[in-house]
C-alpha cells in the first residue's frame, strides 16, 4: 500500500472538473434558501417570472439533478485511484471518514449535505470495487439507476414545503433542532440516488479517460453531445412546469418526474464530457481552476457557511426576499472568491484543511505532506 497522492503527481482534468463543478453546486444549493414564499416543483419558488423564470429553466435542464451525479462520478473516479494503491480496509475507512464529515456538515450547517451520502456509498460498495469487473459495476449501476428513476416518478407534483425545512427556522435553536432528521433522510436517499454515478465514475477511473483527455477527445465529445442533448430534452418538461407553463398531473406527472431523473444521469455524463474536453486544451484560468479543485471539499463546506450567514432566515435573512437571480449571483460570487483564494493557496503548495483531515484519518500511519 502507498500513502496519499502528492499534489505534484495529480492529473489536471479531474481537478479542473471539480473546480468547475463547484460553481454548479453553488447554484444548485443557493435557491434552496428562498423559503419564505410558496414552494413549487424541485424546491423552486412558485410564480417565477421574467429573468427568474429564464434562470430557473436553465438550471433545471443543466444543473438540477445533474450536479450531484456528476460530483458522484468524480468521487467514483477518486475511489478507483484509491483502490488501485490501497486495500479494501482503507477504502472502507475513507467511506467512514466522509460519513463523519458529512454528519458534522449536516448537523451544524446544511442537512442537505452530500458528503455523507458518498461516504455511505463507498462503504457499502467497497467489497464490489475490489472484486467486480467494470462490466459488473456498470450492470449494478444500471439496475440501481432504473430503480431510482422509477422511484422518482412518485415525486411528481409541487413540493409545497422547502426542500430543507430547517432553513426557514426563525431561530438558531430551531434551525439546529431540525437538522438530525433532515440529514439522515437526505443522506439515505442521496446515497441511493448517487450510487449509480459513483459506480460509473469508478469505471471511468479505470479507463483513464480523464487522465489522458487529449487521447480520448472522440469519446469525450460523444459524452458531451449525447449527454447534454438528452439531459436538456428529458429535463425540459419539468423545467416548464417549474415556471408555470403547464402542470403535469397523474401518470403524466410521474413520467415527467422520472424523465427528469433519467436526464440527470445523462446530463451529468454530458457535463463530465464537456469538462474533459476543456481539460484537453490550454486556456487562461485553467490552472487556477484546477488548483482550486484540489480544495473541492473545503470549498463545498465553505459555501454552506456563506449561504447560512447571508441567506438563512435566522441569520442574514436575505433568502426571505431575494430573487432567484440574486441567489444565483450570490452562489456564483461565493464560488469565484473561493476559486481565487483556494487556487492561489494550492499553487503555493497548501492543501485544503478538510482534504488534509480526510487524508490523515484515511492514512493514520502515513505521512500526509505533499511529496
Task: Spell out the per-residue pLDDT of the chain, length 371, in tens.
Answer: 455 555 556 789 999 999 999 999 999 999 999 998 899 999 999 999 999 999 999 999 999 999 999 999 999 999 999 998 899 999 999 999 999 999 999 999 999 999 999 999 999 999 988 888 999 999 999 999 999 999 999 887 899 999 999 999 999 999 999 999 999 999 999 999 999 999 999 999 999 999 999 999 999 999 999 999 999 999 999 999 999 999 999 999 999 999 999 999 999 999 999 999 999 999 999 999 999 999 999 999 999 999 999 999 999 999 999 999 999 999 999 999 999 999 999 999 999 999 999 999 998 775 544 43
CA distance linking residue 91 with residue 114, whole number of Å: 18
With 0-12 / 13-18 / 19 or more C-beta atoms within 10 angstroms meaning exposed / middle / buried, residue 300 is buried
CA distance linking residue 107 with residue 111, whole number of Å: 6
What's residue 371's pLDDT? 31
User: Cβ(144)–Cβ(196) under 8 Å?
Assistant: yes
Q: Residue 34's domain spans which residues? A: 7-362
The reply to whether 368 falls in a domain is no
CA distance linking residue 100 with residue 166, whole number of Å: 21
pTM over 0.85: yes
C-alpha cell belonging to residue 73 = 462520478
Ranges of H-type helices in the chain: 12-30, 50-62, 67-85, 88-108, 115-131, 134-152, 172-177, 179-207, 217-242, 250-279, 286-293, 296-311, 324-347, 353-362
The reply to whether 182 falls in a domain is yes
CA distance linking residue 71 with residue 92, whole number of Å: 19
What's residue 6's pLDDT? 54
What's residue 157's pLDDT? 84
The reply to whether 367 falls in a domain is no
What's residue 10's pLDDT? 76
Determine the straight-line distance between the first and last CA of the chain, rounded to whole angstroms: 16
The reply to whether 73 falls in a domain is yes
CA distance linking residue 261 with residue 169, whole number of Å: 29
The reply to whether 288 falls in a domain is yes
The reply to whether 128 falls in a domain is yes
Domain count along the chain = 1
The reply to whether 148 falls in a domain is yes
The reply to whether 310 falls in a domain is yes
Amino acid at each position: 500500500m502507498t500513502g496519499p497522492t502528492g499534489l505534484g503527481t495529480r492529473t489536471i482534468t479531474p481537478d479542473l472538473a471539480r473546480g468547475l463543478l463547484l460553481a454548479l453546486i453553488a447554484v444548485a444549493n443557493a435557491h434552496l434558501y428562498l423559503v419564505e414564499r410558496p414552494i413549487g416543483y424541485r424546491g423552486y419558488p412558485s410564480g417565477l417570472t421574467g429573468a427568474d423564470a429564464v434562470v430557473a429553466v436553465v438550471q433545471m435542464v443543466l444543473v438540477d439533478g445533474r450536479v450531484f451525479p456528476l460530483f458522484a462520478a468524480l468521487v467514483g473516479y477518486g475511489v478507483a485511484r484509491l483502490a488501485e494503491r490501497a486495500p479494501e480496509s482503507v477504502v472502507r475507512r475513507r467511506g467512514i471518514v466522509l460519513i463523519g464529515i458529512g454528519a458534522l456538515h449536516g448537523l451544524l450547517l446544511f442537512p442537505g449535505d452530500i458528503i455523507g451520502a458518498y461516504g455511505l456509498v463507498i462503504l457499502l460498495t467497497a467489497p464490489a470495487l475490489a472484486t467486480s469487473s467494470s462490466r459488473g459495476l456498470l450492470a449494478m449501476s444500471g439496475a440501481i439507476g432504473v430503480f431510482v428513476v422509477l422511484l422518482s416518478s412518485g415525486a411528481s407534483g409541487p413540493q409545497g414545503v422547502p426542500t430543507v425545512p430547517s432553513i426557514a427556522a426563525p431561530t438558531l435553536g430551531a434551525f439546529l433542532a431540525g437538522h438530525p432528521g433532515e440529514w439522515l433522510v437526505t443522506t439515505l436517499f442521496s446515497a441511493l440516488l448517487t450510487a449509480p454515478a459513483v459506480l460509473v465514475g469508478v469505471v471511468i477511473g479505470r479507463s483513464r479517460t480523464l487522465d489522458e483527455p487529449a487521447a480520448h477527445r472522440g469519446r469525450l465529445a460523444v459524452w458531451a453531445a449525447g449527454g447534454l442533448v438528452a439531459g436538456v430534452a428529458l429535463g425540459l418538461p419539468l423545467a416548464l412546469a417549474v415556471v408555470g407553463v403547464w402542470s403535469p398531473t397523474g401518470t403524466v406527472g410521474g413520467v415527467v418526474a422520472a424523465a427528469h431523473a433519467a436526464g440527470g444521469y445523462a446530463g451529468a455524463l454530458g457535463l463530465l464530457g464537456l469538462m474533459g474536453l476543456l481539460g484537453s486544451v490550454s486556456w487562461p484560468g485553467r490552472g487556477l481552476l484546477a488548483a482550486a479543485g484540489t480544495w473541492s471539499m473545503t470549498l463545498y463546506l465553505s459555501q454552506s457557511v456563506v449561504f447560512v450567514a447571508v441567506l438563512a432566515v435566522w441569520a442574514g435573512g436575505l433568502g426571505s426576499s431575494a430573487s432567484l437571480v440574486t441567489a444565483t449571483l450570490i452562489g456564483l460570487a461565493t464560488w469565484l472568491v473561493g476559486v481565487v483564494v483556494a487556487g492561489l493557496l494550492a499553487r503555493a503548495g497548501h492543501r485544503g484543511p478538510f482534504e488534509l483531515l480526510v487524508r490523515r484519518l484515511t492514512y493514520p500511519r502515513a505521512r500526509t505532506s505533499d511529496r
